[in-house]
């Protein structure tokens, strides 16, 4: 046979053998040996992969316990047991297609991140100051990724509040010095996963690929670089987790593995947003179902966490991100709309692997009893949540906001802050609650206060001295404004984060005198808080407000801090004798923001609309 003819025959044989070969997507993309949970589910995704058979090459400590075909022939699920004897390496699978085509798939098992000596999964606690930012709106560090060919949303328009603006992960890394100087110790970013949707991709909550960083923000390597940069500084990374829903254009929504992958309804059904249906002893089952199984929006399908394959997919992704990127904590989006039994299972799986990891859920509800139901609490209810903490909307809506926007009364004004705090007995540990003034879904607090700088200083003083984990929203420090009509107005760019910006709020020279006054006030308290255990982990004692003046103390065996909030427009006298049981033998108090010293042996005046943060001394 002539050489050319031999080559053609060989090529034909190879084409017949590998005609079914293709790029197979694996989820998770890799895994680790030595995990406490020794089970692993791998989702294989490729055209007609469900028709293939799979065998695993012998590998010490690893057993292929089964493969599962599902409704869609484009998926195949593999179940592995990873024993104690398993070592890092590549596990090889042989995939045989019905037509006779054969291909090899290598799956990587890595050593645990702990072996690299990197601190991670350390948790965000009441010792921290957390800073929430929107990556697309903070800073543009790499203009080359502003637009990505092939993605559905090709917008790039900083003049629109709904289009992409170009902020990215490198932009955040570029400004870690600024954040650390401000006193920030941890970063919470809106979701960073790919959102390949036709529009509104700037917020990140419509995930279309759980294992790929949104390319307009950067790469998986860029996210790892951010995490490493934070940890080298002693800072932490909080990831925004979205379990309840996903983007309509997610590959496993467009091609569902199983018929029950989503919560299906005869016609589109929205959630009713009524959290009460979960604990109301008289609730109609249909109302409960609508809350949990109803969709968040038509563009964000509701995931059926009762499907065991999907539940495992979501849990494994959460674990994967901690191990892959060194996450320190999770904020869980729309917590109340999830299947709570699933969430208990997910929380338990994370805490089993990472006992110090912090987890807090978004609970935009109304009332401390409502909120406490969704986290570890002292309530005698049929369902017991294992979520360690929530975002404390109650201390915002019915606490500090009421204190600074309503006149004092028996139950009004600053009394609402007192009475809301008094209900902390419902939480197992109120010190883990995340307190805040605003976020990406709420009006800017400076705007809520009518841009009253005096009141705003009071709010910041409260935030950095009260119980719980304080969270700042980006731009709080330089008086960013905006109302949620619509939400894009509270998601504006951080000025100075883009090449060519006319002003740069990252520098004192770029801020106005008023902005620098707020920045310095916040910074001084944040820095003081970093050095003061009484504000980080100390106890709280509060006194019944008197004539619009609210006094509380943070204290431990090292220091006592006296906080005096005068919510009146005029000055008020405060008599330290009323607080003798906690002041004890202390003689003076130094106001941390101003450095002014006051005697505790006689009444002293507190200016209208001001707050003292007094470090007591003998």
Q: How many Cβ atoms are within 10 Å of 224's Cβ, its own excluded? A: 16
Q: Which of 324, 353, 362, 615 is catalytic?
A: 362
* Claim: this prediction has a pTM higher than 0.85: yes
Query: Quick check: bond before 486 cis, omega within 30?
Result: yes
Mean pLDDT (whole number) for 302-309: 98
Q: Which of 202, 240, 333, 424 is catalytic?
A: 333
Question: pLDDT digits over 484-535, tens only?
Answer: 999 999 999 999 999 999 999 999 999 999 999 999 999 999 999 999 999 9
Res 64: pLDDT? 98
Does residue 18 have a pLDDT over 60?
A: no
Mean pLDDT (whole number) for 62-83: 98
Candidate CATH numbers 2.40.50.140, 3.40.50.720, 3.20.20.80, 3.30.750.210; the one for domain 130-396+430-535: 3.20.20.80
Cβ atoms of residues 187 and 172 within 8 Å: yes
Residue 360 to residue 347: CA distance in whole angstroms: 10
Residue 330: its H or E element: strand 329-332
Give the Cα-Cα-Cα angle 272, 273, 278 (nearest 5 degrees).
95
Residues written for the chain? 618
Mean pLDDT (whole number) for 575-581: 98
Question: pLDDT digits over 309-364, tens only?
Answer: 999 999 999 999 999 999 999 999 999 999 999 999 999 999 999 999 999 999 99
Does residue 282 have a pLDDT over 90?
A: yes
Does residue 250 have a pLDDT over 90?
A: yes
Instruction: Report the share of the chain in percent with pLDDT over 70.
Output: 96
Res 99: pLDDT? 87
Residue 391 to residue 28: CA distance in whole angstroms: 29
Q: How confident is the model at residue 253 (pLDDT cuts 50, 70, 90)?
A: very high
- Contacts of 268-272 with C-beta under 8 Å, sequence gap 24+, read 268/295, 268/298, 269/293, 269/294, 269/295, 270/294, 270/295, 270/296, 270/297, 271/295, 271/296, 271/302, 271/337
Question: pLDDT digits over 88-133, tens only?
Answer: 999 999 999 998 899 999 999 999 987 444 579 999 999 999 999 9
Cβ atoms of residues 332 and 360 within 8 Å: yes
- Contacts of 337-340 with C-beta under 8 Å, sequence gap 24+, read 337/244, 337/245, 337/271, 337/291, 337/292, 337/294, 337/296, 337/302, 338/243, 338/244, 338/292, 338/305, 339/292, 339/305, 339/306, 340/278, 340/374, 340/383, 340/385
Residue 199 to residue 343: CA distance in whole angstroms: 29
Active site residue 362: yes
Does residue 1 have a pLDDT over 70?
A: no
Query: Residues 6 or more apart from 475 whose CB is under 8 A from it?
Result: 444, 492, 494, 505
| Structure-token pair, residue 207 | 């995930």
Question: pLDDT digits over 186-222, tens only?
Answer: 999 999 999 999 999 999 999 999 999 999 999 999 9
Instruction: Report the share of the chain in percent with pLDDT over 90.
Output: 95
**Given this chain, do its domains 14-111 and 130-396+430-535 carry the same CATH topology?**
no
- Which residue in the block uniquely carries the two structure tokens 């912090």? 358
By DSSP bridging, strand 358-361 and strand 389-390 are parallel
Domain spans of the chain?
Answer: 14-111, 130-396+430-535, 540-617
Strand partners, 566: 549, 610
C-alpha radius of gyration, the chain, whole number: 27
DSSP letter for each residue of 246-314: --TT-HHHHT-SSTTSB---SS--B----GGGGT-TT--HHHHHHHHHSBSBTTBPBB-TTSHHHHHHH
Task: Give the domain 540-617 fold.
Answer: Immunoglobulin-like (2.60.40)
Nearest to 401 by CA among 439, 482, 365, 455: 455
Active site residue 136: no
Strand partners, 617: 588
- Which residue in the block uniquely carries the two structure tokens 């016609």? 267
Res 115: pLDDT? 45
Nearest to 465 by CA among 561, 382, 362: 561
Name the least confident of 71-75, 97-101, 130-134, 409-413.
97-101
Q: What are phi and psi of 554, to 5 degrees?
A: -115, 130
Res 100: pLDDT? 87
Res 119: pLDDT? 78
Residue 453 to residue 406: CA distance in whole angstroms: 16
Nearest to 455 by CA among 493, 413, 416: 413
Helix, strand, coil in percent for the chain, rounding step 5: 30, 20, 45
Res 3: pLDDT? 45
Does residue 20 have a pLDDT over 90?
A: no
Residue 200 to residue 190: CA distance in whole angstroms: 14
Res 308: pLDDT? 98
Cβ atoms of residues 60 and 81 within 8 Å: no
Res 319: pLDDT? 98
Mean pLDDT (whole number) for 50-54: 97
Top-confidence residue, 23 or 225:
225
Res 22: pLDDT? 57
Residue 338 to residue 344: CA distance in whole angstroms: 10
Does residue 19 have a pLDDT over 60?
A: no
Q: How confident is the model at residue 16 (pLDDT cuts 50, 70, 90)?
A: very low
Give the Cα-Cα-Cα angle 131, 125, 237 (nearest 5 degrees).
45
When the pLDDT of each residue in the chain is averaged and rounded to a whole number, the result is 95
Task: Give the domain 14-111 fold.
Answer: Immunoglobulin-like (2.60.40)
Residue 555 to residue 318: CA distance in whole angstroms: 37
- Contacts of 551-555 with C-beta under 8 Å, sequence gap 24+, read 551/579, 552/466, 553/579, 553/582, 554/465, 554/466, 554/467, 555/582
């Amino acid at each position: 046979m002539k050489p050319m003819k031999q080559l053609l025959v060989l090529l034909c044989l190879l084409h017949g053998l590998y005609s079914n070969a293709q790029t197979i997507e694996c989820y998770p993309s890799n895994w680790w040996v030595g995990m406490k949970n020794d089970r692993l589910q791998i989702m294989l995704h490729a055209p007609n992969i469900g028709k293939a058979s799979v065998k695993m090459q012998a590998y010490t400590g690893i057993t292929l316990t089964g493969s599962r075909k599902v409704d869609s022939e484009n998926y195949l699920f593999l179940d592995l047991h990873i024993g104690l004897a398993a070592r890092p390496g590549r596990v090889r699978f042989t995939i045989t297609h019905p037509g006779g085509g054969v291909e090899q798939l290598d799956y990587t098992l890595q050593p645990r991140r702990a072996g690299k000596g990197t601190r991670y999964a350390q948790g965000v606690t009441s010792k921290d100051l957390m800073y929430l930012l929107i990556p697309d709106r903070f800073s543009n560090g790499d203009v080359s990724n502003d637009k990505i060919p092939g993605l559905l949303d090709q917008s790039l328009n900083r003049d629109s509040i709904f289009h992409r603006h170009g902020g990215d992960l490198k932009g955040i890394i570029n400004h870690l010095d600024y954040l650390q100087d401000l006193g920030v110790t941890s970063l919470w970013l809106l979701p960073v996963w790919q959102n390949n949707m036709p529009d509104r991709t700037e917020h990140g909550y419509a995930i279309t690929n759980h294992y790929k960083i949104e390319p307009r923000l950067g790469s998986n390597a860029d996210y790892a670089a951010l995490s490493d940069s934070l940890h080298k500084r002693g800072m932490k990374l909080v990831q925004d987790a979205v379990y309840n829903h996903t983007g309509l254009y997610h590959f496993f929504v467009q091609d569902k593995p199983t018929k029950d992958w989503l919560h299906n309804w005869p016609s589109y059904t929205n959630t009713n947003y009524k959290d009460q249906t979960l604990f109301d002893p008289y609730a109609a089952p249909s109302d409960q179902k609508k809350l949990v199984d109803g969709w968040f929006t038509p563009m964000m399908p509701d995931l059926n966490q009762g499907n065991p394959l999907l539940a495992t997919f979501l849990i494994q992704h959460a674990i994967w991100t901690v191990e892959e990127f060194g996450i320190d904590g999770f904020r869980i989006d729309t917590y109340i709309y999830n299947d709570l039994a699933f969430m208990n299972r997910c929380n338990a799986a994370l805490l089993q692997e990472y006992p110090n990891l912090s987890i807090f859920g978004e609970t935009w509800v109304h009332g401390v009893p409502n909120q406490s139901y969704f986290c570890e609490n002292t309530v005698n209810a049929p369902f017991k949540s294992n979520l360690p903490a929530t975002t404390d909307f109650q201390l915002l809506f019915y606490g500090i906001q009421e204190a600074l926007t309503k006149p004092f009364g028996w139950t009004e004004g600053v009394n609402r802050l007192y009475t809301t705090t008094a209900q902390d007995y419902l939480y197992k540990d109120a010190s883990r609650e995340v307190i805040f003034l605003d976020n990406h879904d709420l009006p800017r607090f400076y705007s809520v206060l009518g841009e009253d700088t005096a009141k705003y200083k009071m709010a910041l003083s409260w935030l950095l001295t009260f119980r719980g984990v304080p969270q700042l929203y980006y731009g709080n420090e330089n008086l960013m404004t905006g109302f949620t009509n619509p939400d894009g107005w509270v998601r504006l760019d951080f000025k100075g984060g883009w090449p060519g910006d006319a002003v740069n709020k990252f520098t004192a020279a770029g801020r106005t005198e008023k902005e620098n006054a707020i920045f310095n006030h916040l910074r001084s308290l944040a820095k003081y808080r970093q050095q003061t255990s009484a504000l980080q982990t100390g106890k709280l004692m509060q006194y019944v407000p008197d004539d619009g003046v609210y006094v509380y103390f943070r204290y431990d065996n090292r220091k006592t801090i006296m906080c005096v909030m005068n919510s009146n427009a005029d000055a008020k006298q405060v008599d330290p004798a009323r607080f003798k049981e906690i002041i004890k033998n202390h003689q003076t108090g130094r106001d941390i923001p101003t450095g002014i010293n006051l005697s505790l042996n006689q009444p002293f005046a507190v200016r209208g609309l001001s707050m003292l943060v007094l470090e007591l001394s003998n």
